[in-house]
Amino acid sequence: MTKKNFNYTASMHEIEQILERFRTEEMDVDQLAEEVKRASQLIQACRERLLKAEQEIAKTLGEA
């Protein structure tokens, strides 16, 4: 996932799908590490996007 093509909504949906597979035990042990790694990457990207949005909003309000 490149930062340029990042989509917050799609990433959150993918995180929710991973959690649902985990909750319903559809995830086997062999998949677990890979799924946790992917979820971690998505969460970090979402955090970065939220921080960027917060900074942009603060900047815009500061200019007003």
| CA 14 to each of CA 40, 42, 54: distance values in angstroms, whole numbers, following the listed order | 11, 8, 23
Residue 11 has pLDDT above 70, yes or no: yes
On whether residue 22 sits in a domain, the answer given is: yes
On whether residue 3 sits in a domain, the answer given is: no
On whether residue 14 sits in a domain, the answer given is: yes
On whether residue 2 sits in a domain, the answer given is: no
Residue 25: pLDDT band (50, 70, 90) is confident
Domain that includes residue 17, residue range: 8-63
Residue 5: pLDDT band (50, 70, 90) is confident
> What was the pLDDT predicted at 56?
95
**What residue type is assigned to position 47 of the chain?**
R
On whether residue 53 sits in a domain, the answer given is: yes
pTM of the model: 0.80
On whether residue 1 sits in a domain, the answer given is: no
Domain count, the chain: 1
